[in-house]
Structure 1
Amino acid sequence: MARIGVISISDGRDHVHARNARFIQSKQDELVRSLTTAGHEVVAGPDLVATNTLATSVARAVAAAGVDVTIFYYAVWSFPHFTMLAADATPSPLILVASTDPTEPGLVGMLAAGGALDQIGRAHTRMWGAPDDADLAGRVGAHARAAAAVASLRGSTFGRFGGRPMGMNTAVANTDQWIRQFGVDVEEIDQYELVLRAEKADVGEAAKARRWIEEHAAGVHYDGRKLTPELLERQIRSYLAIRDIIDERKLDFSGIKGQPELTEHFATMDVTEAFLNDPYDWNGPKPVHVTATEADMDGALTMQLMHKISGDPVLFADVRHYHAERDIWDLCNSGQHATWYAARSDNPAENLAKVHFYPEVFFFPAGGASVQHIAAPGQMTLGRLTRQAGEYRLQLMLGEFENYDDETNESLMRQSTPEWPHAWARLDAHAETFLSQFGANHIHAIPGDRRAELRAAAGLLGVDVHEWSRD
């Protein structure tokens, strides 16, 4: 949840404020209770703003608490210049909220304040409703979560292992643009560092992890050539190596090129990427470290934003095939689907019981295990930050992951690459629209309807939203 500041703006006439103060305070208290009940931490201003000096001092006090977003609350008519002074002292995103109690002109106060902010170009969001309205708390909460996610990007570092994979332009972004627009730095790391560290990684830990996988997975299908216990342990040692590099270089999220150097001469990074993106490994719960296969920078940025909004692992996939007869998409990739998506359970054993580790296919002569499963069904938010003429846009849609009987699942998998992970996705977008306009081969997803948060995040980042639906 988010940390939300609340500042109530009042009338500047002493006798009017004296009459209104109890009413304003009661409305603010109801709003604070509603937001707290929704799970947020609320920092209320130490006083109601009824003078120019209070406008500045109260706003500074709330800002000092490190809030993700600040509400300016209008229960009555409020002097607009108080809002202007408070806004100047408020670095966080602003939400203007008006009480809809008809006995006092709160809407009038919000509109006057909002118009004044428009005149100076200060971005803000406007909302209104009863202070105890759960829907209002939900809308505020979505915006606050988005603000927290956007703020978390600033000052973060992306670890880019390797360079552009296989000439994939959409996997490479302008580092100047990233630091300017998102506040994200890029640390370039050669893949040879990963190889060297993997060779020196703890062999005992790798053996322990291999036994844990063998015990809990639906199957580890050794073939004595492309997948052996030794190759699986090499992949696990790669995971241990990159964990060390992440800790040393203080990386917040990452991407691994993989192809063709590692996949031709060392091992695939499928196991490494899957467990980095999982909220657990063989040693128990751990933080998700968002990691994009093929060092996809915009993919990783999308995933990090989605993860910070939802708290869940984020799916990474190729848009592999459209089954027109079923109106479903096969989202399938040779890199990672976090094993969490197999059942979306907090218990790793439940997820791994649906995960197979198969020998890699002919694309990857170095071998290793692919991490195969079918994503569990449920509502999903899908999308990606893409670029058009150098400008970012968020392409966004709702969808549904589906699952079928074993025979149907097997038939669908065999039409593409059965050794890789799959998500059967029914998108809330027409196939012609999607294929004509989607700006990459990779797509990303998180459970539930998170469009409100992502719309708000895009607005805070100065990114246009291109949202598709069948309506």
Structure 2
Amino acid sequence: MARIGLLSISDGRDFVHRDVTDHIARAGADLAAVLRAAGHEVITAPEQVSSSELATSQARWLADQHVDVTVFHHSVWTFPHFTMLAADATPGPLLLVANIDPQFPGMVGMLAGGGGLDQIGRVHARAWGDLADPGVRDRILGHVRAGAAVSALRGATFGRIGGRPMGMYTAVANADQWMRQFGVDVEEIDQWEIVRRSENADPARVTAARTWLERHAAGVHYDGDRLTPELLERQIRSYYAMRELIDEWNLDFSGIKGQPELTTHFCTMDVAEAFLNDPYDWEGPKETHVTATEADMDGALTMQLLKLLSGDPVLFADVRHYHADRDVWDLCNSGQHATWYAARSADPAENLSRVNFHPEVFYFPAGGASVQHLAAPGDLTFARLTREDGAYRMHVMRGAFETYDEETNERLMRASTYEWPHAFARLDAPAEDFLGRFGSNHIHAVPGDYTGELRAVCRLLGIRYDGFGAAA
């Protein structure tokens, strides 16, 4: 949850400020209560801003608290230059909030201050209305989530394990641009580190993990060739190697190249990628660690933003096939889907009961298990950061996962690569529009509607929001 700085702004006339200070205090306490009820930490500036000196000193005081988002609260008419001075002393995302009250024209103060910020090019968000209105609360909290997500990116480290996979330009980004625009550093790590470190995994932990998978999965389909207990344990050892790299290099999110070196000569990273993205593993609950297959940098960055907004595991998939007769897409990629998507349950056993571990297909001669399941139905937000002529844009659309009767599910999965995880998605975008301008073969999603938050994120990051369908 976010660490929020709350600054209440007042009228600059001392005789007016004396009359409204109690109202400002009550209104500020009400706003703080809404934010805390949503789970956020709220740090309130010690004094209300009623002078130029206080505008600067109180904003600096909040900045020293290292808040993720700063809220300027306008519950009365406020002198606009207070907003300007406070904003100049405020790093990071800024939200202006105004009460709507005919007796206390906070809305006027917000518009005057916000207009001044527009004139100097200071990016900010605005929310207004009665805090008792659920729509108003949702608007405020959506902006807070967006601001906190952008703040959380700054100072983060992405672990890029390997280089460009199979010639994918869309999987490689400019590290200079990432630092300048997002504040994210890129740590380059060779895939040999996974191979080397996998030998250090505790054999007892590895065996316990394998038996846990055998006990809880719908099936572990050993064939004596592409999938053996030894190969599955090698994949588990690779997971532990990644956990070691994450801890040692303080990685906030990652991507693994995989193809072709590991998938041809060692084993696939399917098990490692699935469980890094999961909120649990065989040892219990854990923090999800966004991990993109094929070391897809912009994919991982999209996933990290969606994780920071939602708190949920994030889907990574190829746009594999379009069933035109159903207007449904098969989103399918080798082993990448977190097993959480099988049932979206807080109980790992319920999710794993729908997951099969199949021998890898001919693409991957090194073998290992492919983590196969069908994503549970539900509404989602789909997104992907792409670049057009070097400038970032965020593709966004709404949609839903669907499932059908068992025979239909099987037939549709076997139409592509059966052994891989599948999600049958009905997107709120015509196929012609999607295929005509979507800028990647990879797409990402989380349950729920985060289109508003993604609009706010794009504004804060200086990125063009590029919506499809109703999200346009």
TM-score, normalised by the number of residues in structure 2: 0.97
Report the counterpart of residue 256 of structure 2 in structure 1. Answer: 256
Query: Is contact 1:10–1:79 with CA below 8 Å preserved after alignment?
Result: yes
The SS at the match of 1:384 is: strand
Q: Secondary structure at the match of 1:200?
A: coil
Moved over 6 A (4+): none
Distance in 2 of aligned mates of 1:183 and 1:92: 12
SS at match of 2:303: helix
Does 2:278 align with 1:315? Answer: no
Match of 2:173 in 1: 173
Which residue of structure 1 aligns with residue 349 of structure 2?
349
Q: In structure 2, what is the equivalent of residue 138 of structure 1?
A: 138
Instruction: Please state whether the residue corresponding to 2:469 is helix, strand or coil.
Output: coil
- Contact conserved, 1:10 with 1:78, CA < 8 A, in 2? yes
Cα distance in 1, alignment partners of residues 153 and 34 from structure 2: 28
1:147 is matched with 147
Moved more, 297-306 or 243-252: 243-252
Verify the 8 A CA contact 1:38 1:137 in the aligned structure 2: no
Letter in 2 for 1:222: Y
Corresponding residue of 2:393: 393
The SS at the match of 1:246 is helix
The correspondence of residues 438-457 of structure 1 with structure 2, limited to 5 A, is: 438-457=438-457
Q: Which amino acid aligns with 1:81?
A: H
1:25 match: 25
Residues of 2 paired with 1:254 and 1:73: CA distance? 38
Higher alpha-carbon deviation: 385-394 or 118-127: 118-127
Q: Deviations over 1:387-418 (max 9, x none)?
A: 00011100001110111111110010011111
Shift of 1:55: 1.2
Q: Indicate the larger mover: 458-467 or 125-134.
A: 125-134
SS in 2 for 1:97: strand
2: CA distance between counterparts of 1:58 and 1:71? Answer: 12
Deviations 1:333-365, CA, capped at 9 Å, x for gaps: 014111111111111111100000000111111
In 1, Cα distance between equivalents of 2:74 and 2:98:
5
Pair 1:66 & 2:66 matched: yes
Which residue number in structure 1 is paired with residue 242 of structure 2? 242
Tell me, in whole angstroms, the C-alpha distance in 2 between the residues paired with 1:186 and 1:75: 43
Q: Distance in 1 between matches of 2:145 and 2:105?
A: 29
Deviates more, 1:440-449 or 1:180-189: 180-189
Distance across 2 between alignment mates of 1:267 and 1:43: 49
2:195 corresponds to which residue? Answer: 195
Cα distance in 1, alignment partners of residues 208 and 316 from structure 2: 27
Whichever residue aligns with residue 16 of structure 2, its letter is V
C-alpha deviation, 1:40, in angstroms: 2.4
DSSP 3-state at the match of 2:199: helix
- Residues 245-289 of structure 1 show CA distances to partners (whole Å, capped at 9, x for unaligned) of 111111111111111111111111101111111111111111111
Q: Where does the alignment leave 5 or more consecutive residues of structure 2 unmatched?
A: none
Q: Residues 3-22 of structure 1 correspond to what in structure 2 (within 5 A)? A: 3-22=3-22
Q: 1:469 maps to which residue?
A: 469
Aligned to 1:79: 79
Q: Is the 8 A contact 2:93 2:151 kept in 1?
A: no
Structure 2 residue matching 1:215: 3-state secondary structure: helix
SS in 2 for 1:160: strand
The amino acid across from 1:79 in the alignment is F
Aligned-pair distance for 1:443?
0.3
Secondary structure in structure 1 of the residue aligned to 2:130: coil
Tell me the residue number matched to 2:416: 416
Q: Counterpart of 1:258 in structure 2: which amino acid?
A: G
Alpha carbons of structure 1 residues 466 and 61: separation in structure 2 relative to 1, 3 Å: same
Name the aligned partner's letter for residue 125 of structure 2.
Answer: T
Residue type at the aligned position of 1:462? G
1:470 Cα deviation (Å)?
A: 5.2
Does 365-374 or 37-46 show the bigger shift? 37-46
Conservation of the 8 A alpha-carbon contact between 1:157 and 1:250: yes
Counting only pairs closer than 5 Å after superposition, residues 424-443 of structure 1 correspond to structure 2 as 424-443=424-443
TM-score where L is the length of structure 1: 0.97
Given residue 188 of structure 2, which amino acid in structure 1 is its aligned partner? E
Q: Which residue of 2 aligns with 1:289?
A: 289
Q: Which residue of 2 aligns with 1:99?
A: 99
Which blocks of at least 5 consecutive residues in structure 1 are unaligned? none
State the partner residue of 1:304: 304
Identity of aligned residues (%): 68
- Contact map agreement 2:69 2:151 (CA 8 A) in 1: no
Q: Distance in 2 between matches of 1:239 and 1:358?
A: 18
1:182 maps to what in 2? 182
- Which residue number corresponds to residue 164 of structure 2? 164
Q: Report the AA paired with residue 429 of structure 1.
A: A
Contact 1:34 1:134 (C-alpha < 8 Å) held by counterparts: no
CA RMSD of aligned residues (A): 1.3
Q: Equivalent residue for 2:50?
A: 50
Residue deviations 1:4-46, cap 9 Å, x none? 2222211111111112222222222222222223332222221
Separation of aligned partners in 1, 2:47 and 2:227? 66
Letter of the 1:59 counterpart: A
Look up the match of 2:459: 459
Contact 1:31 1:132 in 2 (8 A): no
Q: Distance in 1 between matches of 2:147 and 2:269?
A: 33
Higher deviation after alignment, 331-340 or 29-38: 29-38
Which is further off, 52-61 or 266-275? 52-61
Q: Distance in 2 between matches of 1:51 and 1:129?
A: 26
Checking the alignment, whether the CA contact within 8 Å between 1:430 and 1:470 is kept in structure 2 is no
| In structure 2, C-alpha distance between the alignment counterparts of 1:370 and 1:377, rounded to whole Å | 21
1:68-104, Cα deviation, whole Å (9 max, x unpaired) = 2122122222111111111112113211122210112
Deviates more, 1:212-221 or 1:232-241: 232-241
Instruction: Tell me by how many angstroms 1:109 deviates.
Output: 1.3
Query: More deviation in 170-179 or 190-199?
Result: 190-199
Q: Secondary structure at the match of 2:375?
A: coil
SS at match of 2:301: helix
Q: C-alpha displacement at 1:202, in angstroms?
A: 2.1
Aligned twin of 2:274: 274
User: How far apart, in 1, do the equivalents of 2:451 and 2:345 lie?
Assistant: 23
